[in-house]
Amino acid sequence: MVTPDSAAWEPEHEEDSMPTPEIMPETAQLFAAEVLAGLTKPGQKELPSKYLYDEIGSKLFEVISALPEYGLTRADERLLRLNAHSVAEELPGRVVIAELGSGSGKKTRSILKAFSRRGPTFYHPIEISATALAMCEHELSDMDSVSIVGFEREYLEGLREVAARRKRGEKILVLFLGSTIGNFDPPADVEFLQKVQGILKGGDALLLGTDLEKPMGQLIAAYDDLLGVTAAFNLNLLARLNRDLDADFTLSQFKHLARFNPETRSIEMHLKSTRAQTVSLDGGRVKVDFQDGETIWTESSRKFSFADLSRMAETSGFKSVGQWVDHEWPFAENLWIVK
C-alpha cells in the first residue's frame, strides 16, 4: 500500500530536493510525477525506462554495449558499416539526419560518413540524457563536414524542432537504432511510429534498427550478464531515485531480474524486492510498500519477427524500401520511406 500525499510533492520542496544539473525544472517535475504514478499503480509497479539514463546509467549502457553477451550493438554497428552507402543511395538530394536517442553516437559515424561524401551534412542527435548527448557530440566532433546541433529533449519534441528548421527541398532521415523501438510495448510502438510519421513529410525516411527473435537463453544472458553490468544499470535507477527524489531505497534489498515474456516476446527487466519493506520518497512524504518478491518493471525489450516489421511499417504509414539482416546476431536494419 502506498500513502502518496501527491499535493505535498510539488515544487515548494525544490530547495530540499534540488534536481541534479542534468534535469531541468519542468522535467524534474514530470520525473517526480511519473515515478509516483508508476510506484503507486495498482498491480504491477513500474518505472519508465527512459529514467535509466542519467549520467551513470548512460555510461553503464556504453559498457553493456561492449559486453560479449550483448551482441545487439555489434550487429547494429556491422549492418550500418556495411550498408550505409546503400542507405544514402536510396535518399538522393539534401538530407538532414536526426537521431532519436543517439546514445554515444558511435555507430552513427558510418551513416554520417556516407552522407557527407555528398557535401556538408547536418546531424541532430535528440537525447533525454545530457550525458549521452555530450558523449555523442564529443564522439563525432572530428567529422569536419558534419555540423552537429543536438537537442536535449524527448524524442518527439526534438523531432518537431528539427522538422520546424527544415529548409526548402531538404529531406529528413530519422535514425532510431539499437532496437530502442522494442522498449515500447505494443500498441505503443506503432502509435509512436505513427507520431514520427506524422511529423515527417512524404519522401522523408526512417532507418529503424530492430533486434530479431532468438533463443531465450541467448536473450537472458544478454540482459543478465556475468559481470553484473546490466544489474548495476537497472539498480542505478533506484540509486537515482535516492539521489534526485530524496528516496531511501536500500539497494542490497533489491535484485536485478531479467525474464522472457513469451506472450509479448520481450525480455523484461525488473527489480525484485527481497523482503517485505516500506520505502519512502520525497524525504518521507510518500511511502511505498513492497511485498517479499514483488517487482518493479523497469524495461521491456521486444524481439521482432519479419512479419511484425512489415505490419508495423504498413500500419504506421511507411513503405519499406530496404532491409539488411545480420546473421551472426539476428538483427535487422530497416529503411522505411514516408508514403
Contact positions vs ligand SAM (CB under 6 A): 50, 53, 58, 61, 65, 73, 101-103, 126-129, 132, 154-155, 177-178, 180
| Residue 8 · residue 282 · CB < 8 Å | yes
CA distances from 236 to 106, 146, 174, 204, 298 (A): 23, 34, 30, 37, 11
Return the number of the residue (273 or 316) whose C-beta is nearest ligand SAM: 316
Minimum distance from CB of 64 to ligand SAM (Å)? 9
Cβ nearer to ligand SAM, comparing 129 with 273: 129
With respect to ligand SAM, which residue has the nearer C-beta, 73 or 197?
73
Give whichever of 74 and 171 is closer to ligand SAM, judged by the CB atom. Answer: 74
Instruction: Provide the minimum distance between the beta carbon of 169 and ligand SAM in the complex, in angstroms, as a whole number.
Output: 28
CB of 127 to ligand SAM, least distance (A): 5
- Alpha helix stretches (DSSP H) within the chain: 25-39, 55-66, 71-90, 109-116, 130-139, 155-164, 188-199, 216-223, 229-244, 306-315
- Please say which residue, 71 or 103, places its beta carbon nearer to ligand SAM: 103
Q: Give the integer Cα–Cα distance in Å for 140 and 159.
A: 20
Identify the CA nearest to 84 among candidates 110, 109, 58. 110
For residues 34 and 51, what is the distance between their CA atoms, to the nearest angstrom?
10
Rounded to whole angstroms, the Cα distance separating 212 from 202 reads: 28
Q: Which cell numbers in the block locate residue 249?
A: 531505497
Tell the smallest beta-carbon distance from residue 99 to ligand SAM (Å): 7
* For ligand SAM, the closer CB: 126 or 173: 126
Q: Which residue is nearest to ligand SAM (CB)?
A: 178
Closest CA to 309 of 239, 207, 205, 231: 207
How many CA within 13 A on the CB side of residue 322?
A: 20
Closest CB 29 distance from ligand SAM, rounded Å = 16
Please report, as a single letter, which amino acid is at residue 49: S
Nearest-approach distance from CB 100 to ligand SAM, in angstroms: 6
The minimum distance between CB 180 and ligand SAM, in angstroms, equals 5
Residue among 155 and 290 whose Cβ is closer to ligand SAM: 155
Distance of CA 48 to the CA centre of its chain: 10
